[in-house]
Structure formats: C-alpha cells, structure tokens
Structure 1
Amino acid sequence: MKIGLAWMRCGAAVVALAAGLAAAHAGSLKIESWRNDDADIWNNTIIPTFNKHYPDIKVEFSATQPAEYNAALNAKLDGGTAGDLITCRPFDASLQLYQKHQLDGLDDLAGLANFPDVAKAAWSTDDGKVTFCMPMASVIHGFMYNEDAFKKIGAKPPKTMAEFHDILDKLKKDGTYTPIDMGTADQWEAATMGFQNIGPNYWKGETGREALISGKEKYTDPDYIAVWKELATWAPYMGNGFQAQKSADSQNLFSLGKAAIYPAGSWDISTFRKDAQFPIGAFPPPLPAGDTECYISDHTDIGMGLNAASKNKEDAKKFLEWLSTPEFADLYANALPGFFPLSKAKVTIKDPLAADMLGWRATCKSTIRNSYQILNRGTPNLENELWNVSAQVINGAMTPEAAGQQVQTDLDKWYKPAK
C-alpha cells in the first residue's frame, strides 16, 4: 500500500511538472528574423493586429543583423535555442534547414492554398511535394534617385546605360551630390545592389539563370563578365572612402539628401520614407547598348517557417495561418512598402514609390537572383563568393575576368550539372 501510494504521488508529481513545463511554453512565441530595421513595425503594428485575434498568444520579435543572420540562426538551431518561428531566406538556405529536420513541413496548413505555385517554389522541396515556409513577400531591385538632384542637372530617369553614364558625368561635374551612393565594406551590397540588380538585363533573366543551372552557361561567359565590367566603372562616382562605407552609411547619406542615385532594393522604401525630406523617384536597371527588352530582379525574398523543436507548435501554426490571410497581405505591404505580397489576395499599394516599382512587372520580365536556387548548396558558398568578388571588382582589386574565373572555378569544385 505504502509503495503504491508513493508511486501514485511520484506519478502525480511528474504529471504536474510536465504540465508546468507545457504551460511555460504555451501562449508564447519567438520570431527569428534578419529584418532588424523592421522591429518597430512588427512590435507596434503587425503583432498587435495578430493579437486582436489571439490576445492570449504573446509574440516576441527577435532580429539579427542581415549579414550575420544565417550563421547565427544555424548556431541557435543546432544549439536548441532558436525561436519558434523562423524567418526564411528563399530556396537553398531554408531547404537545407528542412533537410536537417530543423523546419517542419507545413502542408497541413490550409493557408498555403492562398499562394500560387511560383511563390511556394521558393520554400518547397525540388519535387514540390513539401512546402516548409509560409510565403510572405518579394522585393524588386532597381535604382532610387533624389528628384531634386536630377532637376538640378536637368536629367530624366535613364533608360539606357549610355544615358545612365551621361547623368553620372553631369552629377560629378556639378559636384553637389555623390553620384552613386553605395559602399563595398559590407560586400553584400556590391552583389545584391550591383551584380544582381543590373545583371538580369545582360543574362536575359530566367533564360540565363536556368542556363547556369543546366551548365549551358558559366560565370566566365561574356554576359557575366560584362556585368562586372559595368560595375567597375561605378567606382569614380561612388564618393571618397566608399571602400569603408557600410549599408547603414549609404542609407544615411541618401536620407540626408547628399547623394543622387541609390542602387536599391524596394525594401529600402520604408527607411527613406521615415528619414528623407526630399522627393524620391525610381527607375529600373538601364538597358545595355542595343537591347530593347528589360528584365528585373523580382525576388521571392521572405517567408516564415516552424522550428521543428518548438514547444508551442499549436500557437505557431495559428500565427502562420494568419500570415496567409488577406488582412496580413494588405497590412504587410502597406506597413512595409516595398515588400510586395505573394498571396492571391488583391492588395492596393498605397505608397506611390512602391506602386511605381511594382508597376515594372508590366513592362519588364521578372527573374530571381541567380545564386539562390540549387547553385548555393555547396562549399564554397556561391552567394558569399559573389559578394566578395563584386566588391573587389568595384574596389579595383580584381579584374572582371578574374572575378568570373574565381566564381566558376569554386562552383565547379562541387556542382556538376545534371546531364
């Protein structure tokens, strides 16, 4: 009897302890993200709107510097300290997390039906059978410009690279503004705002991207070398000390009205809307000589997945389902202008600059960054390689030809195109 009573008490204690641990996790979610400049919007707009539907679920938004996010997230996931909801990079980086069983498949969520296949492809297995992140938004690359600066020199947005360089020469001669506002200290800007921004016009968007994957084209081909040659010509227009200029420095320089042209991602719109006191326009990447068809990097950029080790998956799924609603699509697109909805919901973009950039889809063909799908799965990491060589080319430390050769040689070390 005494032994039986002791076991009963012990069992009751274990049940109570388990219930206490479950209660400690219930109603609390943590989001991991690289969007460190969006924290106020998440905390003051997005999360409070979610809480109108689920007032008992506490959500914490935790951001890491963009360039450090992948490494930091991997360390947290490996160490068991990552949040419940994981903001997902597109394609290979997140696919690897799913393959390591660190992200759950989400095909049991009804909200995935609200997205077209092209949106889900960025966060699905190669065979398309499993989707592991809820799509959120895409971003578009191009150039933003200070309308006052263009007015001062009598310039209109350029349509060709020849017109682009003519404007740069006039801006430099005038001397009032830094013609091109970009630095190379962070490296990623040189590739993302430079190489992947103007490049699609040279390699013909999806045609070139798919040719790289199939092995029919290489980074040593003339179209890719031509992109680096163009980037090399930017250096004289980028201002003194651009080699030490970080992304935040570039944003600040443009916001203060001291620069004329900002090689941009649409994600920067909200930053400039908050800080800049002058009219801002935008134009798509100018066309190389002789070309008439334009291409834009319209990149499936951000999604959200479920940490396979989360202790509160039920509430996490409620949050993910909410991300699939028209309410979130409209809220996100207008709270963060420049992040364009991927869902089938009809959303009216209120910010005129964001609406202008989104309008480029009607005249230019869309593609994604050519380093993101399949080609970024090995070592050395292709994305980081493009950051490095693009920065070196602009710095004058590497020739365009050497850049193409280094990238292709390192890609050849591990990637063998399917025959």
Structure 2
Amino acid sequence: MKLHRTLGHALLLTLLSAGAARAGNLLIESWRVDDKALWETVLIPAFEKTHPGIKVKFSPTAPTEYDSSLAARLAGGTAGDLMACRPFDVSLALYKKGHLDKLDGKPGMQNFPNIALLAWQTDDAKDTFCMPIASVIHGFLYNKKIFKQLNLQPPKTEAEFFSVLDAIKKTGNIAPLALGTADQWESSQIVFTSIGPNYWHGEDGRMSLIAGKAKFTDPAFVGALEYEAKLGTYLAKGASAQTYGDSQNQFALGRAAIYPAGSWDISYFNQTSGLELGAFPPPVKRATDKCYISDHMDIGMGVNTRSKNKADAYTFLSWVGSAEFADIYTNRVTGFFSLSKHPVKVRDPLAKQMVDWRASCASTIRVNSQVLNRGQPSMENELWNINAQVLNGKLAPKDAAAKLQNGFAKWYKPPQ
C-alpha cells in the first residue's frame, strides 16, 4: 500500500511539474519559415518586453509540409498553442474538426473590419476562428530605368498598356513581360486574378459565381481571358519552359521591363542593387472605369482548442491585434499588409505604392478562394492549367471559359 501511495504521489508531482512547465510558455506553428528570424529577434522580444512572464517560441514547418504535419500534430495532441492560419477552406476544415477556438468577441478582434474576417469565418459568417494578420496585393512592377530610356509612362488604361508593351517589344533585346508558364500557378494567381476583377467587378462577380447568377462563359470572364491571351503575345521566347525563379532573375537583371507581381516579390527585388522599381495597378479598359485590385487575405492566427495555456495564448493573440504588431509586421515582412483598422505608415516606397491603391481601387480576393474550390475537378488546378494554356496561345479564351464552366457545373449546386 505504501508503495502504491509513493508511486501515486510521484505521478501527481510529475503531472503538476509538466503543467507548471507549460504555464507561461507558448508555441506558435507556422509555414512562414522565412519569418523565423523576424519572430525570434523582433516580434517575440517586443511582446515579451511588456509581458515578461510569458515565453514564446516560433516553430515553423516547410510550406509544402505544413498542412499535413499540423493536422497530424493536432490529431495527436502535440500541436502548438497558436497556429498560423491559411485562408478559407484549409482553416475552415480545422475549425469544423474542433481544432480551432471560436474567436468572436475575444480581445483584439474588434480591431478588424468585417471584410478582413471573411477568410476565417464559417460560410454563414456566424463563427470566426482565426484573427486576420495580413494580405498580399497583385499588380505590375516596372523597371524605371528602362521606362526612362524609352520615354514611357506607367499605363492607366489597357490601350496605354499595350502601347507600352509594343514600344518595349520593338527594342528587340528586352522582353516586355517577365513571365513564364512552366510552374502554371503564376498564370492564375498573379495574372488572371489580378487583371480579371476589372472585368467582373471584383466582389460582385465573385459572389455572383457563388450564388449561381454568373458563369465563366459570361462576357466579363471571357473578356478577362481574351485580355490575358493578348498579354501572352508579349512573353519572351521559350516562356512555356520559364519558371517563377527564371522570371524573377530575368527582371532583376534588366532583361524584361515589366513584372506581373505579387507584393511579396518586393523583398526579393530589394536585394538587387541599383534596380529602381515602380508599380502600377492592373490598367482599366477606359479611364473613367472604376478600378479593382486583388487584395488577397494570406495569413491569420488561431488558438488550438487543446492548448494547455489558453490564458496566455489569448494574451498573445490580443497583442497580434495591436497597432504595435501591425506596424512591425507590415514594415518588416515587406509586401504583406496589415488587415487591421490601425493606421500603419508603410516605409518601403514600393510597398507603399501598392498599398495606396486601396484608397482609389476596390479590393477583392482571388475569385475561386471561397467555396468554389470544394469539388472535383479542382477549380484551383483547373485555373492553373487553363490560364497557362491561354497565355501560351494553346487554348482560345472562349474554349477556356467553357472548360472552366463545364468542370465547375459538374459538382457545384448554388445555394437555394
């Protein structure tokens, strides 16, 4: 009996010690491996300075492995207290499985507008399960030196854009567009979802697809594909074999004048000495047209429902919703823009150019991100392949639109 009491006492001490070791410690899961130094040397020290009793560790996983490895750790009860959330369906699935806390009404959540919450809410918008952190913006970067040499101005309309592209093409030694289709994803995520919103009017067109009031074969979507096909005639020779990395290198070396970009590319090009860059949003058809930009929600943060230290997890999450965090993240992770209501002074001049488009253009997200990726054939995969073929001149815009719509119609039934 005495032995049993001793063992029981030892087991109780072990459990209490484990709990005590856990209290005051937080582990953050993320796919943003590139941000590890920032978290360890800037963000975490900034938080711990005002919260000395809480120790935080940032533990990223390679982006391609994050979803599966996080799911395994969550299922096994070994995941961190807080986790970086991908937008829309991936995080929604985690919430439906009970892995993420509901965050409505939690401290810090009041600092975000309703539109910013969209990527981390249930379809009926009743439950929010991740705090928004940042979005990325799509548009075009251009080489100021080349534009000056050719006496060119950043285009505002499509007609001006094609005049600029023609002038560059005539040089014979500079590619008008630094863009390849070997990796395919840029064709959809950077080109189609960037130029398209001016045709389908951003959120109006996206929500009409979800509601079943619009089809990919409608003039607005076909028009965007026709525009894309025309852009494809300005790619460098061999573009079908050109990777994303090849395009970055081509533009950085001054071998192409314009780069269809995501704002995350800014940090890469900032490393190239002497490269002077400007940016312009997707040109509109007519100067009087309203402009739209793809301002895509990229990353949020949620609380693990099985965290052993939720009080501190919510303290940290509240800080993520603060003006201090918004400023640090926006200005140190260049090209990622805070989704909060806090006014942030963007210090990188190119990033500031892009985020300032929010003041004159309506923001929207990638057209297929919400709801439309849930069936087979996968809308995401279809868009990659189809847009690459359109840019390569291998698929006519009307045929591309029909293929998208036919695949979509096989599984999607609009809500009644």
Given the alignment of the two structures, is residue 60 of structure 1 paired with residue 58 of structure 2, yes or no?
yes
In 2: Cα distance, 1:178 partner to 1:413 partner: 40
Given the alignment of the two structures, is residue 411 of structure 1 paired with residue 408 of structure 2, yes or no?
yes
In the TM superposition, residue 309 of structure 1 has moved relative to its aligned partner by 4.1
In 2: Cα distance, 1:130 partner to 1:75 partner: 24
- Counterpart of 1:295 (choices 292, 297, 310) is 292
In the TM superposition, residue 311 of structure 1 has moved relative to its aligned partner by 4.5
The question of whether the paired residues in 2 share the 8 Å contact of 1:42 and 1:61 is answered with no
- TM-score, structure 2 as length reference: 0.90
Amino acid at match of 1:300: M
- Counterpart of 2:372 (choices 372, 375, 378) is 375
- Over aligned residue pairs, what C-alpha RMSD do you find? 2.5
Q: 1:285 to 1:21 in 2, by over 3 A?
A: same
- Counting only pairs closer than 5 Å after superposition, residues 68-87 of structure 1 correspond to structure 2 as 69-70=66-67, 73-74=70-71, 77-78=74-75, 82-87=79-84
Bigger mean CA offset, 100-109 vs 279-288:
100-109
In the TM superposition, residue 73 of structure 1 has moved relative to its aligned partner by 4.5
Q: Deviations over 1:18-46 (max 9, x none)?
A: 23443565555443334344343333322
Q: 1:154 to 1:36 in 2, by over 3 A?
A: farther
Amino acid at match of 2:337: F
In 2: Cα distance, 1:266 partner to 1:162 partner: 24
Aligned to 1:146: 143
In 2: Cα distance, 1:210 partner to 1:363 partner: 21
Aligned to 1:16: 13
In the TM superposition, residue 143 of structure 1 has moved relative to its aligned partner by 0.7
In the TM superposition, residue 135 of structure 1 has moved relative to its aligned partner by 0.9
- Counterpart of 1:187 (choices 160, 172, 184) is 184
Amino acid at match of 1:57: K
- Counting only pairs closer than 5 Å after superposition, residues 109-258 of structure 1 correspond to structure 2 as 109-258=106-255
Q: 1:328 to 1:396 in 2, by over 3 A?
A: same
Bigger mean CA offset, 238-247 vs 275-284:
238-247
Where does structure 2 lack aligned partners over 5 or more consecutive residues?
Answer: none
Aligned to 1:268: 265
Where does structure 1 lack aligned partners over 5 or more consecutive residues?
Answer: none
In 1: Cα distance, 2:134 partner to 2:196 partner: 22
Bigger mean CA offset, 153-162 vs 299-308:
299-308
Q: Deviations over 1:82-130 (max 9, x none)?
A: 5443222222332222112222222362111121222223212233332
- Counting only pairs closer than 5 Å after superposition, residues 26-37 of structure 1 correspond to structure 2 as 26-37=23-34
The question of whether the paired residues in 1 share the 8 Å contact of 2:139 and 2:281 is answered with yes
Structure 1 vs Structure 2: percent identity of aligned residues?
Answer: 52
- Counting only pairs closer than 5 Å after superposition, residues 332-371 of structure 1 correspond to structure 2 as 332-371=329-368
Q: How many residues align?
A: 415
In 2: Cα distance, 1:322 partner to 1:116 partner: 17
The question of whether the paired residues in 2 share the 8 Å contact of 1:43 and 1:61 is answered with no
In the TM superposition, residue 353 of structure 1 has moved relative to its aligned partner by 1.7
Q: 1:140 to 1:312 in 2, by over 3 A?
A: same
Bigger mean CA offset, 162-171 vs 73-82:
73-82
In the TM superposition, residue 140 of structure 1 has moved relative to its aligned partner by 1.8
SS at 1:149's partner residue? helix
SS at 1:174's partner residue? coil
